Chains A and B, each alone.
Chain A
Amino acid sequence: MYQYSQQDHQLLLERVSQFRDQVQRRLKGELSEEEFKQQRLRNGLYLQLHAYMLRVAVPYGLLSSDQMRTLAHIARKYDKGYGHFSTRQNIQYNWPKLEDVPNILDDLAAVEMHAIQTSGNCIRNTTSDPLAGVARDEIEDPRPYCELIRQWSTFHPELNFLPRKFKIAVSGALHDRAAVAVHDVGLRLVKNDKEELGLEVYVGGGLGRTPMIGKLIRPFLPVHDMLTYLEAILRVYNQLGRRDNLYKARIKILVHETGEDEFRKLVEAEWEHIKKNGLQLRDQDIDAIKAHFKDPDYEELDDTDEAFDRELITDPEFAKWAEKNLELHKKSGYRVVYLSLKSRNQPPGDVTADQMDAIADLADKYSLGQIRSTHRQNLVLTDVKLSELHNLWKELKALDLATPNYNHLTDIITCPGMDYCALATARSIPISQAITERFDAYDFVNDLGDVSLNISGCINACGHHHVANIGILGVNKKGVEVYQLTLGGSAREDASIGKIIGPAFTSDEIVSAIGDVLDVYLETREDPEEPFLTTYRRIGQAPFKERLYG
């Protein structure tokens, strides 16, 4: 992974002391809360319902075991013993004290971590494919490009006070595991017919009040032009994005109101001026960053293992997990392992300090010392040998990290909702827990196959309900929490926005409404191989409506 230079370290230290000074000025009253807000937000510090919340950046979802241990230490020393992985691959702490935050940042800086630009109206942490570098369907490893974007965007002097937050995602594989279509800018690494590497550039995707799928404004941008082109997009947005209405300030609204073609013209015109400047990447610039992401020394292994095959037969529980939570690896004899953060005993995405320490140890023992976080709020060990899977599974099971539900119904994305969040209008964690309890039976979940269920506790849609096959949005209607149901969304390469199926349900009704939806699917799918989304797209809303409201 990327190793900090002396200058990267220097920057973090300077940032921590700058923030320490800002906190002091706030505590002395020299900074008003409103002005401090602008500063703390650019350092990931929110004021929530009960306390401050600190969001720590996990650049493109990649963590070393030592970094994970520091995250555990922070959870233990400064928080209540746990952290929460977010849909943007970051980790959040719900209970830090303001005066402790500079010390937390010091501890983070010691392991090359920070909270820079994890909130505020600036370019946020770049997200990516959690299988980057190991996926079988990969065209090009996106991590070097993410790292270049990280450096370019960190404390960008011109683009740090944008109309609204700005999220970039990069994917380099055939399958989109980074949800690039619902980001302000989504980049997909592709090759043209001359085998040259380039980027599809999508602009103006996003969720929130006005969900939109990003528009492809450039089908092939040479990779060397990535940063100049991004700078052109952001400059146009900084100057023309709306600032009169918070809810119309994202770039998706600018693209929508300007029109896709006109917006493209504006970007291209700006880019003509700057495309040859110092940000244009040379081969050696890209190669130097790529050197940080070289393949580890994999062993040459067969893609079968006798002991593994035997354990699949003798240990049915292991077999269930192996069927659900493993993915093929580009190297034979290795597998990618999903650690489910969706057991019925913890809120989705939550990890205790003890679990974090144990995960760090497991990463060292089984997976070359690295951990990835995913936008579906799980963790991944990417480099586990077939022969060691059974041992790893036993340890994961003891840690309650082996729920066999990856990409299945109970692998629910949930925002923190009214249990923590100052914006939320409804609870979301209890709903996800109720659904998990009701549909916990392995055979049932297994039979449903690949399906996504996401829950947001307010219209800001942090739980990505719009792009779930089954989405739930909690809203407050005359003092009562009710839940709207949307069907048919997808965050993958076939991205789409789900449609509201009808009137909302109460918190008592929503779980059985989900049951009805699943029943319609099970009764009408053409065969057990047809996934929920395919069935829905084939039969449409009517049969579901009929069952829910008929």
Chain B
Amino acid sequence: MGNFIKDRKPADDSWTPFTGLEELDTLPTGDIYVPFKEWLERREELLKRNSRLGVILENTDDVDALADDLERLDLVVLQFPKMADGRAYSQARLLRERYDYKGEVRAVGDVLRDQVFYMQRCGFNAFEMREDQDLNSVLKAFDEMTVTYQPSTDEDMPIWRR
């Protein structure tokens, strides 16, 4: 088991990231997720697989472009190339709020203890924590703050309307 948290618990990761779809024959069995570009190119072939499917977006990708495919996807992976690069927060909220996506939304990359509180509020429910992160410490971070002011995926209303 790696440094993986799902739904606020340490978990086993059943998904395999995969790139290089040109060699489809060698695809692993089990659940895979692929880059958005490869998904667009080989969607029909992928859909014939007998496994769950996921897509990993660049944080510059427009979530809108994935909208029509979301019901076929069990996982969307969003990236934090650096912890201070916050584009994926917007992507996550859009997935949940605008497209009502119910599958797993996973944070990968520079995913650190002190950011998971914000990430979960934006709709992330799975976290591939950076290797050096202490899982016990991370699990505490979800509840460090109990007061929130603004609406997000966890609250429809701002504090003055609750």
Report which of B84, B145, B157 forms a contact with A278, defined as CB distance below 8 A.
B157
Please tell me if A235 contacts chain B, counting CB pairs below 8 Å.
Answer: yes
Report which of B84, B98, B148, B157 forms a contact with A161, defined as CB distance below 8 A.
B84
Within 8 A of B (CB), among A146-200: 151-162
Please tell me if A277 contacts chain B, counting CB pairs below 8 Å.
Answer: yes
Instruction: State the main secondary structure of chain A at its contact with B.
Output: helix
Please tell me if A239 contacts chain B, counting CB pairs below 8 Å.
Answer: yes
Within 8 A of B (CB), among A270-297: 273, 277-279, 285, 288-289
Please tell me if B52 contacts chain A, counting CB pairs below 8 Å.
Answer: no
Within 8 A of A (CB), among B95-119: 98, 112, 114-115, 117-119
Smallest beta-carbon distance A425→chain B, Å:
25
How far, in whole Å, are A355 and B155 apart by their CA atoms in the complex? 45
Smallest beta-carbon distance A26→chain B, Å:
11
Given contacts A14-B146, A18-B144, A157-B118, contact A285 B87 (CB under 8 A): no
Contacts of A38 in B (CB 8 A): 83-84, 114
Report which of A14, A121, A153, A155 forms a contact with B84, defined as CB distance below 8 A.
A121
- The answer to whether A7 and B85 have CB atoms under 8 Å apart is no
- The answer to whether B147 and A289 have CB atoms under 8 Å apart is no
Residue from A18, A121, A157, A273 having most chain B Cβ neighbours under 10 A: A157
How far, in whole Å, are A527 and B151 apart by their CA atoms in the complex? 57
- The answer to whether B90 and A239 have CB atoms under 8 Å apart is yes
Smallest beta-carbon distance A235→chain B, Å:
6
Smallest beta-carbon distance B139→chain A, Å:
14
Please tell me if B56 contacts chain A, counting CB pairs below 8 Å.
Answer: no
Report which of B83, B89, B149 forms a contact with A155, defined as CB distance below 8 A.
B149
Contacts of B156 in A (CB 8 A): 277-278
Contacts of A387 in B (CB 8 A): none
Chain A contact residue count (CB 8 A cutoff): 38
How far, in whole Å, are A156 and B117 apart by their CA atoms in the complex? 11
Please tell me if A243 contacts chain B, counting CB pairs below 8 Å.
Answer: yes
Smallest beta-carbon distance A295→chain B, Å:
22
- The answer to whether A158 and B93 have CB atoms under 8 Å apart is yes
Closest chain A residue to B140 by CB distance?
A: A21
- The answer to whether A151 and B87 have CB atoms under 8 Å apart is no
Report which of A153, A160, A285 forms a contact with B118, defined as CB distance below 8 A.
A160
- The answer to whether B160 and A288 have CB atoms under 8 Å apart is yes
- The answer to whether A278 and B144 have CB atoms under 8 Å apart is no
- The answer to whether A14 and B150 have CB atoms under 8 Å apart is no
Chain B contact residue count (CB 8 A cutoff): 35
Smallest beta-carbon distance A289→chain B, Å:
7
How far, in whole Å, are A151 and B160 apart by their CA atoms in the complex? 9
Smallest beta-carbon distance A267→chain B, Å:
14
Given contacts A121-B84, A151-B160, A155-B145, contact A161 B89 (CB under 8 A): yes
Contacts of A155 in B (CB 8 A): 118, 145, 148-149
Contact digits for B73-91, partner A, Cβ 8 Å, 1 yes 0 no: 0000000000111110111
Contacts of A35 in B (CB 8 A): 83, 112, 114
How far, in whole Å, are A151 and B87 apart by their CA atoms in the complex? 22
Within 8 A of A (CB), among B127-162: 134, 144-152, 155-161
Smallest beta-carbon distance A40→chain B, Å:
11
Smallest beta-carbon distance B156→chain A, Å:
5
- The answer to whether B150 and A156 have CB atoms under 8 Å apart is yes
- The answer to whether B87 and A238 have CB atoms under 8 Å apart is yes
- The answer to whether A278 and B161 have CB atoms under 8 Å apart is yes
- The answer to whether B151 and A279 have CB atoms under 8 Å apart is yes
Please tell me if B70 contacts chain A, counting CB pairs below 8 Å.
Answer: no
How far, in whole Å, are A154 and B145 apart by their CA atoms in the complex? 12
Contacts of A10 in B (CB 8 A): 146-147
Please tell me if A27 contacts chain B, counting CB pairs below 8 Å.
Answer: no
Closest chain B residue to A285 by CB distance?
A: B160
Contacts of B134 in A (CB 8 A): 30
Please tell me if B8 contacts chain A, counting CB pairs below 8 Å.
Answer: no
Please tell me if A11 contacts chain B, counting CB pairs below 8 Å.
Answer: yes
How far, in whole Å, are A238 and B160 apart by their CA atoms in the complex? 25
Closest chain B residue to A22 by CB distance?
A: B114
- The answer to whether A151 and B158 have CB atoms under 8 Å apart is yes
Smallest beta-carbon distance A41→chain B, Å:
10
Smallest beta-carbon distance A451→chain B, Å:
41
Contact digits for A127-161, partner B, Cβ 8 Å, 1 yes 0 no: 00000000000000000000000011111111111
How far, in whole Å, are A151 and B149 apart by their CA atoms in the complex? 6
Within 8 A of A (CB), among B51-68: none
Given contacts A152-B149, A155-B148, contact A289 B160 (CB under 8 A): yes
Please tell me if A507 contacts chain B, counting CB pairs below 8 Å.
Answer: no
Smallest beta-carbon distance B64→chain A, Å:
10
Q: Which 3 A-B pairs have the closest CB atoms?
A: A161-B86, A157-B121, A11-B147
